Chains A and B, each alone.
Chain A
């Protein structure tokens, strides 16, 4: 009897594992918890490090960390939601010589390729469209599992000149630098 019980328990355990394991592998991130996510940027103004962020953005995501090749991500940023560090800068940067949000209200990022690059890391390439211009960007995406969610973070540097962000008197880079570092932290949630 005892042996039979042990066998039965082992079988039950196996069955549970058999069911549970594929489930654990099949975690695919489908949505992003916007309240636990942020997109920030850093730049230099007269040698002074400034930071800002975009408060509104939306995402379309499908990422199974086990099958990165099938992963896809689209991020749309509402440029009007910019916080560029001061209210004066916020008013300026949405204007014609910067983002020109009347004609180009959104910035979009669309992934083109996702490849595994070590444990919990991926090499991502994609297209960033800003003010009517599209440029390739590449970055390392870090994946930090947090229970059933996953924190996806990374960053890349763009040249504002590539997108004619800052025209006319702002076109020179002596006061506001050309390099803009963009960083993001997205809390991804699984879905079907």
Chain B
């Protein structure tokens, strides 16, 4: 029975933790590389950042597909209606950013005249023609959205830890690899 599901499927867990690792890596790399002086290393880091970013952009659609075709475990009744709404909102905001951030990265690359060639092999079409001003604006949007992502991820992680240690419910453990099996 759908309603008795207490844990996520292995695929959902795998995607969650893979994305977590990739996003934290991309965020750290992104903030680090942006201020580097121009060098071959910098260009290489940018290329890697873009390749992994495109990968995340592909993976998020897979996650959304899972999310639409599966009903995730329900929130515990101990959570107030407001908190449940907040949690829902936060999760959809995370999905929104996981789409919007790679998209703005892709657009800014096109506008700046640096096409993205995935893993150096597959060219991804430029959605915009070269336009320096637009490229600069998109870079600001990309950066602002990433700060928002940092905030949301921190909130997400803090909430999970609060559920685990303060509320002592299974919100965190049901996403862990060895978490409870399906009933």
Contacts and interface: CB of A to CB of B under 8 A. Distances in A.
A170 B115 CA distance: 21
A50 B114 contact: yes
B174 interface: no
Contacts of B154: none
Nearest to B121: A47
Interface stretch (B18-26, B35-43, B60-68, B74-82): B35-43
A46 B113 contact: no
Nearest to A45: B43
A86 B114 contact: yes
Interface in B30-80: 38-41, 43-44, 46-47
B125 interface: no
Contacts of A89: 38
A162 interface: no
Interface string A13-52: 0000000000000000000000000000000011111100
Contact of B113 (A86, A91, A172, A175): A86
B38 A48 contact: no
Interface of B: 38-41, 43-44, 46-47, 112-117, 120-121, 123, 132
A176 interface: yes
A76 interface: no
Contacts of A64: none
Contacts of B132: 87
8 contacts: A45-B114, A46-B44, A48-B114, A48-B117, A50-B113, A85-B113, A85-B114, A169-B40
- A-side interface mostly: mixed
A1 B169 CA distance: 120
A169 B38 CA distance: 11
Contacts of A88: 38
Given A46-B120, A47-B121, A172 B40 contact: yes
A176 B40 CA distance: 8
Nearest to A88: B38
Contacts of A85: 113-114
A179 interface: no
A174 interface: yes
A46 B121 contact: no
B117 to A, nearest CB: 5
A72 to B, nearest CB: 36
Nearest to A87: B132
Contacts of A172: 40
Count chain B CB atoms within 10 A of each CB in A47, A50, A172 and give the residue with the most: A47
A-B pairs with lowest CB-CB distance, top 5 = A47-B120, A46-B47, A175-B40, A47-B117, A48-B117
A123 interface: no
Interface in A129-164: none
A92 interface: yes
Contacts of B46: 46
Contacts of B117: 46-48
B112 A86 contact: yes
Contact of B40 (A86, A87, A91, A170): A170
A49 B38 contact: no
